Amino acid sequence: MVLNVRAVAYTLAILVLFLGVAMLIPMAVGLYYGEDVWWTFAVTSAGAILLGGLAWALRDKKETELQIREGFAIVALAWVILSAVGAIPFYLADVLVSYTDAFFETMSAFSTTGATIFGGGGNPDIEELPKAFLFWRSLAHWMGGMGIIVLTLAILPLLGVGGMQLYKAEVPGPSADKLTPRVQETAKRLWAIYVGITGIEVLLLLPAMSGFDAINHAFATMATGGFSTKNGSIGQFDSLYVDWVITAFMFLAGVNFALHFRMLRGQAITVFKDTEFRVYCGITLVATLLITLGTWQPMMQVLPSRLDEAVFQGYASIAEALRYGAFQATAIITTTGFGTADYEVWPPLAIGVIFLCFYIGGMAGSTGGGVKVIRHVLMFKNSFKEIKQLIHPQAIMPIRLGERVVPPEVMKNVLSFSVLYLGLIGVGTMSMAFFGIDLLTAFGATLSSVGNVGPAFGTLGPTENYAHLPDMAKWVLSFLMMAGRLEIFTAIIVFVPAFWRR
């Protein structure tokens, strides 16, 4: 079957139309605060709406049916096109002189990575940005979190039965867990839950910050993005209350939204019986405990390490160590990337735990990035199965998840994904090294981009930014962010020649 290019182009134009409508919101924010940059959003929005409107007027209803191939093409190309259009206001307003920087920042927003170029390389600090652009970064986070494709399915049922192909290509995880039989109803319920939890977080943050800051940080939290309105991220608020509220909501954002749906329907027992959820809770608790102990000063004196020859940051009280340990563990595991402390100055044990957290990720079906907890569970089960198989070569040992047998095709997908994930990190690291970047920074940038985390290691730690990287490195990282957000297969498949042939 030949790729239906007309249907792909038509759908992409409709997505650009919705992006244009969304850009009216930061335009309104600019007008409200009396900022003269509002026109950049107005011009970009008008162009996007005009393009989408023409596509709507010239559409051929017979050409709108989508199959799996069109679904992959649309999702892969959408993130590039939406980021390219979304970067235009940054460039028009001279907020960012380089379009490369504008594209990088926008891709980081839509992919919910949270890596920023503001604050370095001659770019303005975050707090110097007009509020319209601060809001645009957060809004792009929020839309990208659940997926702008799913949003489109929720509010305009244009794609017919083929719409499920977009949902399968977009929703993170080994498989798309439909909440209802109809994809549009699924999308609506996903977004209803998403909006509801975001609204609750805004209300809880209002006592400790302004309404503008509360909305922006709620958007970034639920999207597991990490863009803040402050140079010092969440740590600049220096609030115990804010830290624990955002920690709780980062944890919720890392949970499969299908489980949120079950919880709202009173099926709490099935939620707590879910294997992935229990492992996710366990990993978060263990990581928090290890970081807490590793940064608690009395324990630092006991640990077998050469701590007397270096200066590491620790905390005098166990409560303070728990506060920062829980926040950073949750922020990295869920790939949110918010910061309240510089983990690079922590003792080796805490840094090691943070490093492992980069590779874990949230649950499948959440807005988090990374490998996803369910894949780790299945890979460990498969490894133990192979060990047992060596002892009992004739035995039939199916891999089970709860009471269900995992189909072989799912295990094949998981193992293939893991190989591609590690391979992409390897290729990305070598690419960064080719541009003259030191190995630690190169590896950290790649691991963070593919995992959609944001902060990294080396010169890209939680207190640094990506502005100093060469332009070509930023384009490579932009692709890695997109590939990580789309779980690699969707991003890579469009480069396979057979994809475009009959």
Q: 154 or 366: which carries more pLDDT confidence?
A: 366
What tokens were used for 73? 């093409």
Residue 218 has pLDDT above 90, yes or no: yes
Residue 446 confidence (pLDDT): 96
Bridge partners for 315 per DSSP: 296
Residue 158 confidence (pLDDT): 46
- One-character DSSP codes across 138-199: HHHHHHHHH-HHHHHHHH---SGGGHHHHHHHHS-SSS---SSSSHHHHHHHHHHHHHHHHH
Across 251-278, b (16+ Cβ under 10 Å) vs e yields bbbbbbbbbbbbeeeeeeeebeebbbbe
Q: 447 or 413: which carries more pLDDT confidence?
A: 447
Residue 170 has pLDDT above 60, yes or no: no
- The span from the first CA to the last CA of the chain, in angstroms, equals 5
Q: 112 or 161: which carries more pLDDT confidence?
A: 112
Residue 450 confidence (pLDDT): 95
Write out pLDDT tens, residues 70-95: 778 888 888 999 999 999 999 999 99
How do beta strands 400-401 and 404-405 pair?
A: antiparallel
- pLDDT band at residue 489, thresholds of 50, 70 and 90? confident
Residue 443 confidence (pLDDT): 96
- pLDDT band at residue 166, thresholds of 50, 70 and 90? low
Highest mean pLDDT among 31-35, 387-391, 458-462: 31-35
Residue 161 has pLDDT above 50, yes or no: no
Residue 396 confidence (pLDDT): 80
Q: In terms of Cα–Cα distance, which of 217, 35, 224, 64 is closest to 133? A: 35
Average pLDDT, the chain: 87
What's 37's DSSP letter? Answer: T
Averaged pLDDT, 488-492: 85
The dihedral region occupied by 112, where left means phi > 0, alpha psi between -120 and 50, and beta the remainder, is left
Q: What share of the chain is helix, strand, coil (3-state, %, to 5)?
A: 65, 0, 30
Write out pLDDT tens, residues 97-153: 899 999 999 999 999 999 999 988 788 999 999 999 999 999 999 999 887 657 555
Residue 304 confidence (pLDDT): 63
Q: What is the pTM of this model?
A: 0.91
Residue 173 confidence (pLDDT): 61
CB 160 within 8 A of CB 53: no
Q: 364 or 175: which carries more pLDDT confidence?
A: 364
**List of domains in the chain:** 408-500 (1.10.287)
Residue 242 has pLDDT above 60, yes or no: yes
